[in-house]
Each structure stands twice: as C-alpha cells, then as structure tokens.
Amino acid sequence: MLADYAVRVEQSRGRRVPEPQHPYRDDFQRDRDRVIHSRAFRRLEAKTQVFTRRFSDHFRNRLTHTIEVAQIARTIAFQLGLNVDLVEALALVHDVGHPPFGHAGEKALDAVMREHGLLFDHNLHALRIVEDFEMRYAAFRGLNLTFEVREGIIKHSHDYSASQFPELAEYLLDHRPPLEAQLIDLADEIAYDTADLDDGYEARLLTLPQIRGGVPVFDRFYCEAEQTYPNAIEKLKFNEALKRVLDRMVGDLIRNLQSQINDARIRNLKDVRACPHRLATFSPEVEEERRSTKEFLYRNLYFSAALDSEKNDAERVIRQLFEFWMAKPESLPQTYWQKAAQEPLPRVVCDYIAGMTDNFIYEQHGKYCGRID
C-alpha cells in the first residue's frame, strides 16, 4: 500500500541498458540484490567506520553500519507508505563510495586530488562504482541500476549544481529527490550518532559521566532507565538509554516528515520534486538534540587526541601511496594503468585507492612505501 507521493517501480525511468523483467522480482528488488552481491559491498566489511587500529569484534565497520542504516530506513519508509524496496537499495548502496580509513581517508584523498585541480566525493565515487567498476555481467559494465537508485546515490545527502557538475545533468539537479532518497541521510545520522556513542563507550574513549554531561537527551533517558531497572548493571542501563534516544529520533522523523508532507500539501511525487526545500527533517527540538550530540562526538571522539595517531597514519599512508603511483603509474594494476590513457592519472590513482580496504591499503603501503609501526 504505497502513498500517492511514493515512487512506484512501474513508473521507473528504467536502466541504461534495457533488460527483460524478472519473473518474481521487480526492478528495485533486483537493484537491492545487485548491490548486496557486488564486490564493493563486500569490501565494506573491512573499511573503517570510526576506529582503524582499535581492533574489536564489536565495533561497527562500514558494513555493519550500512545494515543498521537499512533497518532504520526500512522502518521509516514503511510507516510513511514509501517504497521500501527502493529505500533498502539506497540504504545498502549509500556508503560503497567511501575510501579506507573512514572520514580521515576521505579527507586525505580529497586533499591530494585538490592539489591537481580535482576533488574526491564519496557519492560521485559510488556512482562510478555502480556505473563502471563493478564487472559482473556480460551484457553491460557496472550494475545497470535503475535511474531512481542512481539518482538517490547522488542526491540523498547533497544538492549538486548543474553548472558545477554538468556530467550529472541527467539526474534532475533542479528538482528535489524523492522522499525515499531524502530519508536516507537522516537514517544515516540516526545510525551513526547512536552507534558512535556506543562504540566510543565500549572503547573507553567516552565515559558514562562524560556522555551524560554532554548529551542531555541521553542523560534524561538514562535517569529513566535507572528508575525502571535500578538493579541492572551500568552497561544495560546505558543500552536502555541509547535505545530510547534512537527510538526518539526515528519516531520524530516519521511524525515530522508526515507533518511536512501535510503542510506542503504534497499529493504526489511531482509535488515532492517541485518542493522548494527538502521535506525530510527532524522537528526543531530533536534537530537541536541531534546537532548537540554530533558536536559532542566531534569534540570528544572524532577529534580526540586518542585517535590522532590513527588519523595521522591513515592520511600518511594515502598520501604516500598516491604520490608513489603518480610517479610510477606503471606499478598500478594493468586495468588501472590502461584507464590512464582515457582519464587523468590523478583520478585513476584516486579510484584505485578509494576502492581499497584498510587491510589491503596497509599491504600496498608496506610493499611500495615501507611499513608504519
């Protein structure tokens, strides 16, 4: 039972290369499955979410984070009558363009690319992956995903200008993305805000008093957990509070998005696309809680001195490998070396590095540039 403003698979703009219909899966379901079976998706298991060298079986990596985002996004989409299959495909593909070492790796790659007048953007790289790099099918390059999934990869978290990115003109840059794409960025926020509090606490980089003092919404729910479960151990009270923070954000997004739809008199997908602003937002109160939580995480976790050595190592590894292959491109794998005849060498080197897992890039650095202790 889809809402009138949902994306309907039968109205899809289709694939670049036409394909016959599958007997028991629609096109968005097939896109979801193609993402799951892709090499880029499997590599997410060995890519950093927050920690690079703090090994634990329990810390999130890019893959487990992606699965959490998909779970949250599906729940929201179902409650709003959106196309759950499209939402799941977008959630599963939203991080495949991330390089090794998390945000430190993305920062380092962008920095070296800007020295050559270019840039690195993980959304644009994700599009390159699904359009070109994945090689699974004899009939076409890439995954041959539907327009709606490719559009969502580009537009779920960022508005691109057609004048700055003319190569993206086909993706209706002067229109808003469907609600299925809009909610992905906020599901992502919900997932990593709560998960990073959890992982930071587990890694003992964040203490319970520190979190309670710096994240008021968490403290409020922790007080409730203490009253309800006075004999529970600290970690279980922590879990109860964090679960309630997540549920508050999800519930607020559902209610506020429905309110925005009603206030803007959204009747169909055309109205969504024509709306002058994005409809998927938190209420002002919860948005302030989200902003405050994110600032706490940046101040006390992401930019903590305890992680400086990991981030510095990550940036050094990426820069040294990039400079090595720029100087000796013949050392690249043959497929990438051949690409350098059609594309700028910095882009080719960037593409190769961005696809690496944390483990593989350390191996390559040890092979070509020496080890980092």
Is residue 53 pLDDT above 60, yes or no? no
272: its two tokens: 């969504």
- State pLDDT tens for residues 286-323: 999 999 999 999 999 988 888 888 889 989 999 999 99
Q: Whole-angstrom Cα distance, residue 298 to residue 209?
A: 17
Annotated domain spans of the chain: 9-308, 309-368
Round the CA-based radius of gyration of the chain to a whole number and report it: 22
Mean pLDDT of 147-169: 94
H or E stretch including 46?
Answer: none
* pLDDT band at residue 373 using 50, 70 and 90 as cut-offs: very low
85 vs 47, higher pLDDT: 85
The confidence score (pLDDT) of residue 27 equals: 98
Mean pLDDT of 176-201: 97
CB 151 within 8 A of CB 172: yes
Arithmetic mean of pLDDT over the chain: 94
Q: Whole-angstrom Cα distance, residue 249 to residue 247?
A: 5
In the block, tokens 């060498």 appear at 345
- Residue 48 pairs in a beta bridge with 61
CB 73 within 8 A of CB 187: yes
Residues counted in the chain:
373
Q: Whole-angstrom Cα distance, residue 297 to residue 206?
A: 9
| CATH architecture, range 9-308 | Orthogonal Bundle (1.10)
